[in-house]
C-alpha cells in the first residue's frame, strides 16, 4: 500500500497530491496511459517502471474486447493484450510487484470489474497499491456499489466531463470525482486531434466548478499542445501517442519528459535504476 491506499485514506489523495506537486513546480502534471501487457506481455513490468519514472501519474488500461471510448490505437492494443492472455488478476499481480514512484490508476470498462466482484476487487487493488479507478462506461448514477467497496480502502473513481456536459450535471460529476476530474477535450474517441482554443474555454468552465485538479485528455500528443493548454489545466493525459511510441520500440521516458519539460526552462532525465528524476542541462536532455 506504499502508493497511498489503505483503510482510512482519503479516496484518490495520492493522485491529487502528485498533480499538485507538479503544479507547484510550475508545470501541468503528466498522466501517462499504457495498455497492460502491450506491446510485450513479458516486458510489462519494465515498461511500467519506465513510464512511472517519467510521469506524475500512471493510468494502466485493462484490455477489453469492446473499448467504446477508445480509438484505433488503443483498440489495437487491447486486442493484442487479450490475445497474449492478459487478465485483471495478472495486471494486479504485476503492479503489486513493481516498486513504482508514481500513483497508479486502473482504467477499465465495467464488465471486467463486475466479473471480478466489487468487494474482491477492492481488496486486491488495495493490496496492489492501486490509487483509484477510471471506468468510462459507468455513469455516476450507477456508481454507488463500486464506490462503497473502493472508498473505505482509499480508492475512488475519476469522473469524466465533456464539451457537451451541461453545467448542472458537471457540478454533480465534479463533486463525485476522486483524485482529479477528467476533462475530455473533444467529442468522439481517443487518439484524434482537438482545437486548443475550444478546449481552453471548456477547461476554464470545469475549473470554475471543480474543487479537484482538472486534467485534459483525448488527443494530447506533443509539447506544443502542453504549452497551449498549460495556463488552462492542472494536468494532461497522454494515451494513444505513448502507446504508438511503445509499439515502435521507442523509450517512453524520452517522449514523456519532452511533455513534462514543455513549459519549464529546466530539462529532466530519469535515472533508470532508481526511477528518480534529476535536473540536467539542455545539452544533456534526451
Identify whether the C-beta of residue 26 lies closer than 8 Å to the C-beta of residue 263.
yes
Instruction: Using only the alpha carbons of the chain, give its radius of gyration.
Output: 17
Our answer to whether residue 93 is catalytic in this structure is no
Catalytic residue among 16, 42, 56, 59: 59
Peptide linkage before 39 cis (omega within 30 of 0):
yes
Q: SS3 for 13-32, per residue?
A: HHHHHHHHHHHHCCCCEEEE
b/e per residue 26-59 (b: at least 16 CB within 10 A) = ebbbbbbbbbbbbbebeebeebbbbbbbbbbbbb
**Residues 190, 193, 196, 197: is their CA dihedral positive or negative?**
negative
CA gap 12, 5 in Å, rounded: 8
Catalytic residue among 16, 42, 66, 70: 70
Helix (H, G, I), strand (E, B) or coil at 126: helix
DSSP 191: T
Which residues contact residue 250 at a Cβ distance below 8 angstroms, ignoring those fewer than 6 apart? none
Our answer to whether residue 66 is catalytic in this structure is no
Q: What does 59-94 look like in DSSP terms, one character per residue?
A: EEEPP-S--TT--HHHHHHHHHHHHTT--HHHHHHH
Place of cell 495486471: 91
CA gap 127, 160 in Å, rounded: 26
User: What are the catalytic residues?
Assistant: 59, 70
Amino acid at each position: 500500500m506504499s502508493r497511498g491506499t489503505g483503510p482510512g485514506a482519503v479516496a484518490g489523495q495520492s493522485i491529487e497530491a502528485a498533480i499538485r506537486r507538479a503544479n507547484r513546480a510550475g508545470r501541468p502534471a503528466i498522466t501517462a496511459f499504457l495498455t497492460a501487457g502491450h506491446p510485450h506481455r513479458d516486458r510489462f513490468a519494465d515498461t511500467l517502471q519506465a513510464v512511472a519514472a517519467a510521469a506524475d501519474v500512471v493510468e494502466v488500461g485493462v484490455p477489453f474486447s469492446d473499448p467504446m471510448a477508445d480509438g484505433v490505437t488503443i483498440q489495437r492494443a487491447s486486442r493484442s493484450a487479450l490475445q497474449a492472455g492478459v487478465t485483471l488478476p495478472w495486471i494486479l499481480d504485476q503492479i503489486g510487484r513493481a516498486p513504482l514512484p508514481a500513483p497508479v490508476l486502473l482504467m477499465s470498462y465495467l464488465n471486467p470489474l463486475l466479473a471480478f466482484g466489487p468487494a474482491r476487487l477492492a481488496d486486491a487493488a488495495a493490496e496492489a497499491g492501486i490509487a483509484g479507478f477510471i471506468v468510462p462506461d459507468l455513469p455516476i448514477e450507477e456508481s454507488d456499489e463500486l464506490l462503497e467497496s473502493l472508498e473505505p480502502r482509499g480508492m475512488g473513481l475519476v469522473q469524466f466531463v465533456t464539451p457537451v456536459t451541461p453545467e448542472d450535471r458537471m457540478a454533480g460529476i465534479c463533486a463525485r470525482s476522486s483524485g482529479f476530474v477528467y476533462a475530455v477535450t473533444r467529442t468522439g474517441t481517443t487518439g484524434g486531434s482537438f482545437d486548443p482554443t475550444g478546449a481552453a474555454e471548456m477547461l476554464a468552465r470545469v475549473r470554475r466548478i471543480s474543487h479537484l485538479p482538472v486534467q485534459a485528455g483525448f488527443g494530447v500528443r506533443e509539447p506544443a499542445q502542453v504549452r497551449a493548454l498549460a495556463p488552462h489545466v492542472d494536468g494532461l493525459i497522454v494515451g494513444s501517442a505513448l502507446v504508438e511510441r511503445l509499439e515502435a520500440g521507442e523509450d517512453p521516458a524520452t517522449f514523456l519528459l519532452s511533455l513534462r519539460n514543455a513549459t519549464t526552462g529546466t530539462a529532466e532525465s530519469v535515472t533508470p535504476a532508481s526511477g528518480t528524476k534529476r535536473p540536467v542541462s539542455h545539452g544533456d536532455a534526451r
